[in-house]
Structure 1
Amino acid sequence: MDRSEETVRCRDVSGRLREIRLSYGSDFVSPGSVLSQQLVKANEQLYVRKFVSKSDGGRHPRLYRLLDNEVRAGTRLAQVFADRYPAELARLVAYNMDTDEPFVLLRAYLGDPAAAAVKRFDDAERRQFQIGVLRALHLTGVAGVVHGAVSLDAVRWSEGQVQLVDFESAERAGEPRADASTAPVRSPEQIAGEGVADVRDDLWAAGGLIRALYSAAPQDRSRDPERLRVLLGDVFDNPLEHRPHAADLLQKLHAPVSSPPVTNPDDALREGRSLFDRISADRRRTPGRPSTISAAPRPKSALLMLAVLAVVVCVITGLVVLL
């Protein structure tokens, strides 16, 4: 890339427009990512920029979907955890999907990919790593996000701290399962592509990751150490509806199960949606049919609609500098 600095427009995790001055750095490689990446600076802070170039997008349109998954997961996590965002999860800061080269900006990741470090782990570090991975999945579960590609490639390690990154295969819990083709380990339901995404899908992949720490044979659990069978038996031996959650495995490890205070992003929209539904229902009424809604006179309803729209427009068009 020949440019070294550029002012770009993007949206923060709340959807507000911002202007950011970026200084472009070196290419960046994260083994769990398919997308192009580079390091950038803004306001003296280091970020990871993931993007789809026009040429790459033309050859591989699927890349746009992977970037969109990163945005959807990142905005959900940021809105749920707000200013108490957990260090165990990669943090989306801004994005722009309406440009020839769509991109996302994430805070610089912790440490290094875990694959090399785990080979040197002692028993205490293995336990710490297991707890870190399960805690990360507990947090994504709280937010209703399914990572979709949990593996050593998507986990970072920094002096005892785990961070889960690369949400390119992510889905929202309750959505129809998509083809998570980038995931090296998938649950039977993911492989079949049946039903809806469930936060416990990630536990299947995490179980495989934890077994790999002990060099367990991928297809043969009969020789697993007893502690692994106790910890993971319910993950692999049960249908989805009877599988444990990450919090259950943390309890088996006698590790704390906690999460920061969360907010439900849907709550902020509920009143506006309710108002919209009332107005829409009022307008759809058949003449002569009594309404089941005690609506205000139509002029007031119209004014309320205009007021809601005005607030939305003000929010999404405000242009400020990223702090």
Structure 2
Amino acid sequence: MVNDDNARAGGEFEELSMISPQGAPLRVKARFGPDLPRLVRPPAVGRRVQFEDDRAGLQVRLPEAESGNETAQTAIEAETAAVLTVHRAYSGTRYSGLFPVPIGYDINAAEPFIVYAAPRGRSVAALAQGVSTSQQRVIERDLVLAVRLMEAVGLVHQGLVPAAVRWDDHGIQLWDLGSVTHLGRPRRPYGIPPYAAPEQRHGEGLTDARDALWSVGQIMHQLVTGRPGHPDGPSADLPAHPSLAQTLAPVFAPRATDRPLPGTLLQLLMPGAGADFPAAAQPDPLDPYRRDFDAAMRRKRSSLRRAPLPPPPSAPPPAQPWYGEPRPPADTGEATSTWLYGGSTVHDPETAGTERGGYR
């Protein structure tokens, strides 16, 4: 059945061809809802999917009008790669419920897309000061665990904000893998304060898994206090919240090298964790050559594409996004986009991007 906040798609059923996460051709009958605002980072769009067997899903796709947009094409390819990497590493394990579940994808379609199983729960953006201390501990632990699991496959989530984190009685589910990049790549200006770490926002140094730990701390600060934290270091009110300061005080260090490693913090929150997943990945020395190859392939694909179609007539967007809750724009003094997950107006062409249960 569809969750209460996941209304059914309308229209007639049609055949949808895609590739399963295991790489097999897959054909299903599905019908689609309208494009919805602030669901994913533009120019990609999102819409509800209902399958003939009554399962619900979410499709993220790149409109055909953007077929000549190399940056957008690269972004959806990178999101697909990140989602499949995480899914193939942890599907069937006790950690699988922490991440979105891909159903299928087709990057070579006229409108490249990914289809996910429907999100679980609701975003933690709606839970500020509305959870118990025990629930707070579960969310905190799950977030650090998700950061550590992504580090283990060489990925770092750059877009951790409250609306990207779903929560229900089974724990969290971490979305927006389109804001993922590779461990050890040069940082590029990305994200909004206070959720993005200072070095990440300024594009300084190399991407580090501890960038995401800063974001975890800021999400938990918002959840516990109901207020955003300090964008460049610990908030003055941190000592007044011992349940937060006791475990997460070190993650508010302005520089990544002064924060604990995800594995170290996880051992504090979840002793004995990590025995059944790989050691933290190291930056890949061949990564620059792979990026050169990917760039060459993108140029080749671009040369084969027909000219982009003119934009469709504008239409008023639906009044309310179905996935997550809207977040007021941050008062940063800079122009920012209005998509759900935050992120800066800088697009990084190299950034990457329901099962229930969990590991308890």
Q: TM-score, normalised on structure 2?
A: 0.63
SS of corresponding position for 2:98: coil
* Cα separation, 2, equivalents of 1:24 and 1:154: 25
Equivalence for 1:229: 245
1:202 to 207, 212, 220: 212
Q: 1:188 to 1:145 in 2, by over 3 A?
A: same
Q: Equivalent residue for 2:30?
A: 23
Could you say if the C-alpha distance between residues 92 and 27 of structure 1 is closer, same or farther in structure 2, counting changes exceeding 3 Å? same
8 Å contact kept, 1:11–1:18: yes
Separation (CA, whole Å) in 2 of partners of 1:207 and 1:29: 30
Q: CA separation of 1:47/1:118 partners in 2, compared to 1, >3 Å: closer, same or farther?
A: same
Note if contact 1:75-1:92 (Cα within 8 Å) is conserved in structure 2: yes
Shift of 1:251: 3.1
* 1:4-39 deviation line (CA, Å, top 9, x unaligned): 33333323334x351322312334769663242222
CA separation of 1:182 and 1:242: change in aligned 2, threshold 3 A: closer
**1:73 counterpart residue number:** 82
Q: Is the 8 A contact 1:41 1:47 kept in 2?
A: yes
8 Å Cα contact 2:124/2:166 also seen in 1? yes
Please list the CA deviations of residues 185-218 of structure 1 after superposition, one character each: whole Å capped at 9, or x if unmatched.
2222212223332222111111111111222552
Q: CA–CA distance in 2 between the matches of 1:246 and 1:43?
A: 42
Structure 1 gap segments, 5+ residues each: 265-323
Alpha carbons of 1:3 and 1:32: their partners in 2 closer, same or farther (altered >3 Å)?
closer
| Aligned match of 1:188 | 198
Partner of 2:317: none
Structure 2 residue 269 is the aligned partner of structure 1 residue 253:
yes
Q: Of Structure 1 and Structure 2, which has the larger fraction of its residues in helix?
A: 1
Identify if the C-alpha distance between structure 1 residues 217 and 171 changes in structure 2 by more than 3 Å, giving closer, same or farther: closer
Within-5 A mapping of 1:156-305: 156-181=166-191, 185-215=195-225, 218-219=229-230, 221-224=235-238, 225-237=241-253, 239-253=255-269, 257-258=273-274, 260-261=276-277
Q: How many residues align?
A: 263
- Which position in structure 1 is the counterpart of 2:320? none
1:39 and 2:48 equivalent?
yes
Paired with 1:119 and 1:183, the residues of 2 have a C-alpha distance of 20
2:83 aligned counterpart, secondary structure: helix
Q: Percent identical across equivalent pairs?
A: 21
Q: CA deviation at 1:164?
A: 0.3
- Counterpart of 1:64 (choices 44, 68, 73) is 73
Q: Residue in 2 aligned with 1:273? A: none
Relative to 1, partners in 2 of residues 1:249 and 1:153: Cα closer, same or farther, differing over 3 Å?
Answer: same
Superposed CA offset, 1:38-61 (max 9, x none):
222446233211111123x26976
Over the aligned positions, Cα root-mean-square deviation in angstroms equals: 3.3
Q: State the Cα deviation string for residues 142-201 of structure 1 (Å, max 9, x = none).
A: 222211101111000112511101111111212333443478622222122233322221
| 2:28 matches 1:12 | no
Distance in structure 2 (CA, Å) of the matches to 1:101 and 1:247: 39
TM-score by length of structure 1 reads: 0.70
Do the aligned partners of residues 205 and 52 (structure 1) sit closer, same or farther apart at CA in structure 2, a change above 3 Å counting? same
